[in-house]
Amino acid sequence: MNSLIVDFRLASRNLGRNTQRTLVATLTVAFGIVAFLLAGGFIAWIFEEMRESAIHSQFGHVQIVRPGFFEQGIADPYAFLLPEESEEQALVEGLPGFRGLAPRLVFSGLISHGETTIAFIGDGVDPVQEKPVSSRVNIVSGRGLETADEAAVILGDGLARGMGVAPGDVVVLLATAANGSPNAVELKVAGTFATTAKEYDDSALRLPIEVARKLMRVRGATSWVVLLDKTERTAEACRNLSGKLPGDRFEVVPWTALADFYNKTVVLFSRQVSVVKFIIGIIIVLTISNTQMMSVLERTTEIGTSLAIGLRRAALMRVFVAEGALIGAAGGALGLLAGFLLARVISAIGIPMPPPPGMAMGFLGEIRIVPRLAADALLLAILATFAASLLPAWKASRMIIVDALRWNQ
């Protein structure tokens, strides 16, 4: 331990002998870390926004359904109905972090207006219970649903444009009722809505759950959507519910199992961040290695003298590696500080972004530097400079003493 302290003391003194080169090396590391933080922070913000948008517009944190509903329920929702009220709902409401439970009745059918008829996927919802669950559903025009039995419907923005309807128009919904006969209902368009998923907005509509039950001639719901106070509680909630609800009657599905687009986006962008991390690491290694090699050449006579008076080659190598580690630590810390400050400034201004593929709206981007990203950045700085110092340190430790002593003679 004492020898390690001595190594770092010698390394810090050596770095102080050429402040200009040390400053350039430190700034190189810092700029690399800032670039990594900004790129990774933007991706981290996108992940968080996509996650919360998916949860608070479509999926909730947890959905409770009959087993097999998501495989066959859209085609035959009547075989997967949950009770309207039951003891199991009370168990759900007792979850730690529970914020709300909203019943949904999912069905499909045809919507008509004038000469236009389009297939849709509908959600029968209770507007009061659904409000906290769907807080990220944006009303584009008109208004949202107000009561559970009003004769009104809200359409996805893409579906409304395809139908050529606006708030105040009247549409007809046609669906197959539980007894197998067709049934229709005439509803007034209260408004249009938009989520982050364009595909969903192009085919979705929502109507009061009591109206949906009358249309389908059923009671109950196809799913219970559970909202928690924190997304991080999802796994815990699923474990609790799976232990309390009978597995042959209820299936507990976390939002991650439903958000396919989000999951694929995370995989794609995470690989991109890894590539950026690798490129920045290579740049740091090459730059610091070149800087350290120049230092070795300039101090050749000094290295020869040190070896001649008995300094062990391993100790000499440790000093050069310590110099690299100190540059990495200093550059990493400076990069973290600068990255945090730039992230705040950029987030306050916002980054105008066009609608990504599969999404309906553009947005103002931000930079979100999470603790894991900051730790990765600091680790990248230290490991890259450590790796960059190995070759110069090895060359310095392998010098022939006689040749080193007469280097400048």
Q: Please tell me the predicted confidence (pLDDT) of residue 355.
A: 67
pLDDT digit string, tens, across residues 290-341: 887 877 777 777 667 777 877 777 777 787 788 888 888 899 999 999 999 9
Which of residues 105 and 15 earns the better pLDDT score? 105
Q: Please tell me the predicted confidence (pLDDT) of residue 209.
A: 92
**Residue 384 Cα distances to 12, 273, 287, angstroms:** 18, 17, 10
234 and 358 co-located in one domain: no
- Of 194, 228, 249, the one marking the end of a domain is 249
Of 33-42, 119-128, 166-175, 397-406, minimum mean pLDDT range: 397-406
With respect to residue 369, please indicate whether it lies within any of the assigned structural domains.
yes
Q: Please tell me the predicted confidence (pLDDT) of residue 71.
A: 80
Task: Supply the pTM of this predicted model.
Answer: 0.78
With respect to residue 257, please indicate whether it lies within any of the assigned structural domains.
no
With respect to residue 256, please indicate whether it lies within any of the assigned structural domains.
no
- Of 249, 283, 314, the one marking the end of a domain is 249
| Residue 219 structural domain | 67-249
Q: Which residues pair with 184 in a beta bridge?
A: 174
First to last CA, the chain: 38
Question: Pick from 78, 128, 134, 83: which is nearest to 108 by CA?
Answer: 78
Q: Which residues pair with 104 in a beta bridge?
A: 125, 223
Question: Pick from 151, 260, 283, 139: which is nearest to 212 by CA?
Answer: 151
18 and 114 co-located in one domain: no
Residue in this structure with the two tokens 């949860």, named with its chain if needed: 55
107 and 211 co-located in one domain: yes
322 and 393 co-located in one domain: yes
126 three-state secondary structure: coil
Residue in this structure with the two tokens 């107000």, named with its chain if needed: 146
Backbone angles phi, psi at 217, to 5 degrees: 60, 50
With respect to residue 78, please indicate whether it lies within any of the assigned structural domains.
yes
With respect to residue 60, please indicate whether it lies within any of the assigned structural domains.
no
DSSP 82: B
With respect to residue 118, please indicate whether it lies within any of the assigned structural domains.
yes
pLDDT band at 205 (very low <50, low <70, confident <90, very high): very high
241 and 195 co-located in one domain: yes
279 and 349 co-located in one domain: yes
220 and 352 co-located in one domain: no
Question: Pick from 235, 228, 232: which is nearest to 254 by CA?
Answer: 235
Q: Please tell me the predicted confidence (pLDDT) of residue 79.
A: 83
245 and 386 co-located in one domain: no
Question: Pick from 95, 92, 126, 133: which is nearest to 220 by CA?
Answer: 126
Per-residue b or e along 33-62, where b marks 16 or more CB atoms closer than 10 Å to that residue's CB: bbbbbbbbbbbbbbbebbbebbbbbbbbbb
| pLDDT averaged over every residue in the chain | 85
Q: Which residues contact 339 (CB under 8 A, 6 or more apart)?
A: 33, 34, 37, 38, 41, 369, 377
**Residue 164 Cα distances to 170, 193, 195, 374, angstroms:** 11, 15, 19, 49
Q: Which residues contact 366 (CB under 8 A, 6 or more apart)?
A: 42, 45, 346, 347, 350, 351
Q: Please tell me the predicted confidence (pLDDT) of residue 361.
A: 62
Asked whether residue 362 carries a pLDDT value surpassing 70, the answer given is no
102 and 162 co-located in one domain: yes
Q: Please tell me the predicted confidence (pLDDT) of residue 295.
A: 75
- As to burial, measured by CB atoms within 10 angstroms (0-12 exposed, 13-18 middle, 19+ buried), residue 400 is exposed
Largest Cα–Cα distance of the chain, in whole Å?
104
Per cent of the chain over pLDDT 90 is 27
- Of 249, 280, 301, the one marking the end of a domain is 249
Per cent of the chain over pLDDT 70 is 94
Number of independent structural domains in the chain: 2
334 and 378 co-located in one domain: yes
Q: Please tell me the predicted confidence (pLDDT) of residue 254.
A: 93
With respect to residue 284, please indicate whether it lies within any of the assigned structural domains.
yes
Residue by residue, DSSP assigns 220-241 as SBSEEEEEES-GGGHHHHHHHH
Q: Please tell me the predicted confidence (pLDDT) of residue 356.
A: 61
With respect to residue 255, please indicate whether it lies within any of the assigned structural domains.
no
119-143: average pLDDT: 89
382 and 305 co-located in one domain: yes
> Are the CB atoms for 389 and 292 separated by under 8 Å?
yes
Residue 379 tokens, joined: 């680790």
192 and 341 co-located in one domain: no
pLDDT digit string, tens, across residues 208-248: 999 999 998 988 889 999 999 999 999 999 999 888 888 88
